[in-house]
Structure 1
Amino acid sequence: MKILRHNRVIRFIHWVTALSIFTLIFTGFGQMPVYRRYNVDKIAGLEWSSDFLITVNIHYIAAIILVFVSFYFLAYLIGSRSTDILPRRGDFKESIQIFASMVGLAEEPENDKYLAEQRLAFAVTAGSVAILIITGLIKVYKNLPGVNLSAQAAFWTAQIHNIFTVILLISIIIHLLAFLIKDNRPLVASMFTGKIDKEYVARRHSKWLARLEKIN
């Protein structure tokens, strides 16, 4: 028996966000002489990757999409009153307990729809995206005709933007590496189909299953 874990709205938000972030990171590095230096632009189909005008325009389009989907997700959370993915008190301690259980040093706690580390990872990702949007808007604003942003403000805006790009990239890598863990692999398919086996939910997400059965 399958249980719906992610509806179409969540799957749409997830994949549009993932695609826009990947595009932003790729084109962001493309605005530096990285791809020309390491011959990335010699790869078939990526000849454009070292062209500043092309990468910056694609970057802006991807940024607009990310801003849209971010506000759309926020509106969805408020409208649906969904709080499953939001961090909770004790998540850090619970995350340590979950990691300890993977090496046999503790029992895994009863989990809700999302694991504690997934909620913490969401907070890091969402916070990074928010800061990138704000600093990105400032970077666009300073390029408008008639705008004179101080050199110091422009410098620190760029530095913060770059720092949180790295933080976001690291969080994405950790997110992907987490699926190498056998117990996490069934979650991958649910991001495509939206559904997950009830047996898996009963074993690993008992709190969520209890709430579902109470509602039904």
Structure 2
Amino acid sequence: MQRELLFDSATWLVWLAPFIGVLAAGLTKRRDPAIEGQRVLRHDKAAILEHWAHGIGTAVLLVSGIVLGVWFLPALAGSGESVRGWMDVHFVAVAIFLFGTFYYAANTLLAMKRFREHLPTKNAVEYTKRHYGLLLGFKKFTMPPERKYFESEKMAYILALASTVVIIVTGLLKVLAHSLDVPAAMMAVVTPAHDIATIAMLAFFLAHVFFAAVLPMSWPVLRSMFTGYVDLEYAKHEHAGWLSELGYKEPKAETPADETAA
């Protein structure tokens, strides 16, 4: 006798995870970015939690989804108990992913400025061209006054947001199919849509890991995802526009005493 899948025996957890995320957001006291001496608070504890819950959930979902086989890839897990094991891994990742995503979404709805700061501005193309032109060594470019998030990150955010919405909607319908009779015609659309959104999310995720963790230039920001802080000097060079929003003003150089006397 085969053991029951978690998707069948613990379906309630899939519906509970979003509720817990929303409830946790309502109980969370947020901190806004602030300059504190020679460092700048970039991410409060809530931002760190939602980032890693969503990120770890996404990573495990992608790995387990690929192993189980998506729309146009053969399953790597084989069949039988191996597949059931990977299905349970996928289930646990779903719960973590939904908690992190709904925790972020509820936090965002409670303070829409956190959503707006992720959206591209009219400077998106120009700033991205200057930023990466400078990284590639073209001396004619200067570092644009980027805000908290680079304009290139903001454009990628749109892809991630769209993919996440499709994955959640289609994924919940797939879970629903474990307990209710969902029309075959609907599932014929839901399944490939889920897989295509997964491929888009995979592309975003790999690019995000490369630019946010692999490249040395991104290590200060990566570190802030654990500590919450970036150095003031780093922020002055990479995020001048953001520092300006925080009210930072460069201290005036002191005039030497002998020059004053003269």
Smaller-chain TM-score range? 0.7 to 0.9
Match 1:30 to one of 67, 88, 94: 67
CA contact (8 A) 2:130 2:144 kept: yes
* Structure-2 separation of matches of 1:77 and 1:95: 25
* Structure-2 separation of matches of 1:123 and 1:209: 24
Match 2:124 to one of 77, 91, 113: 91
Match 1:52 to one of 79, 83, 91: 83
Spell out, residue by residue over 1:158-207, the C-alpha distance to the aligned partner (whole angstroms, 9 max, x if none). 11111111111111111121144443222111111111100010111111
The TM-score normalised by the length of structure 2 is 0.70
Report the CA distance shift for 1:142/1:89 in structure 2 as closer, same or farther (over 3 A): farther
CA shift for structure 1 position 86? 2.7
CA contact (8 A) 1:92 1:120 kept: no
| 4+ residue segments displaced more than 6 Å | none
SS in 2 for 1:34: coil
* Structure-1 separation of matches of 2:199 and 2:177: 23
In structure 2, what is the equivalent of residue 15 of structure 1? 52
Q: Which moved more, 1:157-166 or 1:134-143?
A: 134-143
CA contact (8 A) 1:31 1:56 kept: yes
SS in 1 for 2:194: helix
Spell out, residue by residue over 1:14-67, the C-alpha distance to the aligned partner (whole angstroms, 9 max, x if none). 111111111211222232331449xxxxxxxxxx9x722222233223213322
**Mind listing any 5+ residue stretches in structure 1 that lack a counterpart?**
38-47
Spell out, residue by residue over 1:115-149, the C-alpha distance to the aligned partner (whole angstroms, 9 max, x if none). 0011122221122111100111122223334x141
Say what the alpha-carbon RMSD is for the aligned residues: 2.3
Match 2:217 to one of 158, 183, 187: 183
CA contact (8 A) 1:202 1:209 kept: yes
* Structure-1 separation of matches of 2:182 and 2:149: 46
**Mind listing any 5+ residue stretches in structure 2 that lack a counterpart?**
1-37, 70-74, 249-262
Match 1:150 to one of 184, 188, 194: 184
In structure 1, what is the equivalent of residue 15 of structure 2? none
* Structure-2 separation of matches of 1:52 and 1:182: 38
Report the CA distance shift for 1:60/1:100 in structure 2 as closer, same or farther (over 3 A): same
Identity %: 23
Q: How many residues align?
A: 202
- Whether 1:78 and 2:109 are equivalent positions in the alignment is yes
SS in 1 for 2:247: helix
* Structure-2 separation of matches of 1:5 and 1:162: 34
* Structure-2 separation of matches of 1:170 and 1:92: 20
* Structure-2 separation of matches of 1:207 and 1:157: 42
Match 1:204 to one of 206, 226, 238: 238
- Whether 1:135 and 2:166 are equivalent positions in the alignment is no
The TM-score normalised by the length of structure 1 is 0.83
Spell out, residue by residue over 1:51-107, the C-alpha distance to the aligned partner (whole angstroms, 9 max, x if none). 222222332232133222212111112223323223333323422232112123322
Q: Which moved more, 1:92-101 or 1:119-128?
A: 92-101
Q: Which moved more, 1:156-165 or 1:181-190?
A: 181-190
* Structure-2 separation of matches of 1:67 and 1:182: 31
Match 1:61 to one of 76, 89, 92: 92
One-letter code of the match for 2:62? I
* Structure-2 separation of matches of 1:92 and 1:157: 34
One-letter code of the match for 1:57? D
